[in-house]
Amino acid sequence: MNGDLGNLLTGELGEAEARFAHDDFAGDYGQRIAGRVRRRRAVRAAGVGGGTMLTAGALVLGATQMPWGTLGAEPGVGGSDCATPWPSLGAPTYSVVIDTDQASLMNLSIMDASTGTLIVGGTRQAGGTYLFTDGYGDPLKAVQGEAGLYTVALPAGVTSLESTATDAYRSAAVSTNFLSVKPPRLVVSDDAARQARGECYTADPTFTPTPDAVTSPFQCGFELPTESLKSDDLWIDGAQWMDGADATAAIGARYSDDPSQAPEIGDSTNPVPVVTVHFAGTETGDSAAITWGTSEPSIDDIEQGLASDTSSLKGSEGATFVGVADGRVVATGNVHPDPSGNVPPAYLDLPSYEDGSFLYLLDQAAALTSCDANPVDFSSIDLYAVAGLIVKQPDGTVEGPTYAWLPVGEP
Amino acid sequence: MARWEPLLEQVMRERAPRLLAYAAMLTGDDTEAHDVLQDALVRSFSRGRRFDHVNQAEAYVRRAIPSVVIDRSRKFRPVPRDPADHPHVAAPASDRDAVMDVRTALRELSPRERACIVLRFYDDLTVSQIADHLGLADGTVKRYLSDASARLAALLGADVDLREENTVPVTAPLAKGRR
């Protein structure tokens, strides 16, 4: 315990314990808490430990039978009492909720029970997060909820889960220390579910991102589960503040060999935050071939930009600034380094992988775009630096996307 | 009845006052402490973990409380509570003044600062452990500890030992009201 303050805190704890001694917490809240636990346990998803490939319940491919019944009206058709018909939603999206919060869980697999085909694979990453891929090794969109709970978009064509193989799965997982193994839970996108229930369409004039489409801190509506995130492969150092002239000089110095190639930076006198992003996950020397910039990393960048190089590790990296309010992204970065000479609102400089990449925010107002129709209210948002990384190994294995973020703070 | 239910009942019956006290120290609000403990119990018992003993379960719930406090501080604005909701039970007179002082001082801190101070000075966690526990960067934790230590030093007086050798520098007291 640390000195006087520790003793005072101990005293405060004892005092508070005396205050609560006469509360009937179990009587007042016990039933409600137990009910909440029961409901949450009822929707726990399956996890498989020890890297063992196991069958996680039968998966029915191509069916549309949902837990609450067959999907109702076709897209574009509203209920008979609805004044406004539903817009076409296209194919409804399906996700599976997977619980990875088990100490022994390293990898998991969801397989078609009848054919043994891999449907979803999950691999624990160095930072403790999970990468989910389909049967071809391509990454699947996944949203991380509270600790260990992921909502993973199912590959196209997989529209239903059948839960009758629970017992088989449970017996197969007996080597792990799970107490309550249940099949992954299938969920359908909110709009499709509402339409299936016969609810009327209501247009929302405000920004309402589709939850299962928001998968990264680069996107509007992303809820940051923690104030900051880092991993061994990707992390961001806290912001250093420079005045505009120093930032201009620092960036210009990178073009000393050919100053004509330097971007026009202007003469801002405002304080410029500079964060250092460390893409250690792609720090592999000559074997790395990377696309990078201020946009979100993507497999498309890797495949299209580096298709001719099949022998080395390939990666896509990105870093930018976003605006956050109440833990949610409400303004996104909208610029890329512009080699044509225009003033870049944000500038990403990569001197070396050892020293990290330097991300400058030269023009805050121009660098961020609001997620709704209103201008960005800089007095009500916190500025965050975000970064992402995807790596594709020579054998085709995809690692990532891995994300990191950090509040920029004040000068 | 599932095997976790009797243990949950036992934790709530036997350990709630101590867990509520810990939550109250982190929230600075007795009623908020009830909400936090509910969330921490749900979070802890929903994960499918096997608790062999009530002590193990209590320890797990206790570890969950700071994270719940931080999560709630992000989602909810604090609402002033009526102190009459939980009548004060007097501590021995010799300790009361100091305890009231530290409780009042803790309420002056932000939720994150308060969590960092409690984890550092009560739970004896290192900066890195606090950072891992709360999902914050090491530097952020150091900043919270430094700012909060300065504030507490100003509020509690010079006789309170806030030294953080090799970890957190104690800075001069800041102007009142600065965060």
ipTM: 0.76
The answer to whether residue B19 scores a pLDDT higher than 80 is yes
A117 within 8 A of A127, measured Cβ to Cβ = no
pLDDT, position B166 = 33
For residue A266, which of A245, A286, A284, A285 has the smallest C-alpha distance? A245
Query: Is the predicted pLDDT of residue B15 greater than 90, yes or no?
Result: yes
A139 to A144, A156, A222, A302, B160: CA distances (angstroms): 14, 13, 19, 13, 54
Residue A300, pLDDT above cutoff 90:
no
- Is residue A39 very low, low, confident or very high in pLDDT (cuts 50, 70, 90)? low
For residue A147, the chain B residues in CB contact (below 8 A) are 43, 47
pLDDT for residue A85: 45
Which pLDDT score is estimated for A357?
A: 84
The answer to whether residues A47 and A183 touch, using CB atoms and an 8 Å cutoff, is no
Task: Select from B41, B89, B102 the Cβ nearest to the Cβ of A12.
Answer: B102
- Please give the residue that has the higher pLDDT: either A29 or A114: A29
pLDDT band for position B83 (cuts 50, 70, 90): very low
A276 or A252: whose pLDDT is higher? A276
A369/A322 Cα distance (integer angstroms): 9
* Shortest Cα–Cα distance, B38 to chain A (Å): 6
- In eight-state DSSP terms, residue A356 is E
Q: What percent of chain A has pLDDT over 70?
A: 46
Between A165 and A115, the more confident residue is A115
Residue A81, C-beta contacts closer than 8 angstroms, at least 6 positions apart: A200
Domain at B93-179: CATH architecture: Orthogonal Bundle (1.10)
For residue A99, give how far its alpha carbon lies from the nearest alpha carbon of chain B (Å): 9
CA distance B154 to chain A (A): 13
Query: Of residues B8 and A40, which shows the higher confidence score?
Result: B8
pLDDT: which is higher, A170 or A314? A314
Task: Convert the pLDDT of each residue in A77-92 to its tens digit.
Answer: 333 444 444 444 444 4
pLDDT one-digit tens code per residue, A323-360: 998 888 888 886 544 444 456 778 877 766 667 788 88
8 A C-beta contact, residue A40 and residue B156? no
Mean pLDDT of all residues in A368-376: 78
Tell me the per-residue pLDDT of B106-141, one tens digit each, with 9 for 90 and over. Answer: 888 888 888 999 998 888 888 888 888 877 788 888
Which one of B12, B43, B137 has the shortest CB-CB distance to A238? B137
Does residue B170 sit at the A interface (CB-CB below 8 Å)?
A: no
- Which sequence spans correspond to the domains of chain B? 4-75, 93-179
Map out the domains of chain A as residue ranges. 59-210, 235-407
How does the average pLDDT of chain A come out, rounded? 65
